[in-house]
Homo-oligomer: A and B are copies of this chain.
């Protein structure tokens, strides 16, 4: 098995090293990750400049771009051989609920899927203990499963692991993404040169975090497994939208 590893915390992140250590016995690994922290990068793709690839003494490669750039370039040009799988992480913080729309970790996995590869995003719901080895062992167990995992088209697996020793994991839970209440207000500040600036506010609290959600599973000590897809069409709305569109004035009838 030939596996591509990436992340959004950067090539020197301890979570990435732990993932590499945990998976290296599974086959042939390549690591291609951003040269610096890109948390919050979402699926951003760098189109206005060429990217530079650097190979480190460890054999890891870094790119001066986003997580999506890394996976795109690795799968689509850097290596002559193709990959069987993409694993992104281990992120040093949770990627739960709505927040994953901003996540670079999840984006690296979805880019892999976009390019035709089964992909997993894995995050540690860190409380400062940094049990990356638990998360790495979870990923290895998932990859070693003899039953094939089929999520359907255009989907990846988003995994969040409680920050505890392996023995303290409660088990696995398949979950849906919860969602948070609205984010807190932007935080204004005056910089030392007297200019007013704004920080994006902290993520919202609670919201839909009840049973069945990823928030709930990890709070109970379970590994959360969420099937995540990248088909953004809201198929359920197609019919009602057609009815509505039919009520629009004829573009040739004037009236606007």
Contact = CB atoms under 8 A, between A and B. Distances in A.
Given A36-B36, A73-B198, A233 B226 contact: yes
Interface string A180-210: 0011111111011101111111100000000
Quick one: copies of this chain in the complex? 4
A234 to B, nearest CB: 4
A192 B202 contact: yes
Give 9 closest A-B pairs by Cβ, nearest first.
A77-B186, A49-B49, A50-B197, A227-B237, A42-B43, A229-B234, A227-B234, A42-B42, A176-B233
A127 interface: no
Given A42-B45, A256-B137, A199 B231 contact: no
Given A155-B234, A182-B116, A201 B77 contact: yes
Contacts of A247: 145, 147
Interface of A: 12, 35-37, 39-53, 56, 64, 66, 68-69, 72-73, 76-78, 98, 100-102, 107, 110, 114-116, 137, 140-142, 144-145, 147, 149-152, 155, 157, 166-167, 169, 171-174, 176-177, 182-189, 191-193, 195-202, 223, 225-238, 240-242, 244-245, 247-252, 256
Given A48-B52, A72-B183, A201 B192 contact: yes
27 contacts: A12-B12, A12-B56, A36-B64, A39-B48, A40-B44, A42-B68, A48-B49, A48-B191, A49-B50, A50-B187, A52-B195, A68-B102, A76-B201, A77-B201, A116-B182, A141-B248, A141-B249, A145-B244, A145-B247, A152-B237, A173-B245, A174-B238, A227-B234, A227-B241, A228-B232, A228-B234, A229-B234
A196 B110 CA distance: 27
A48 B76 contact: no
Given A42-B42, A248-B142, A227 B238 contact: yes
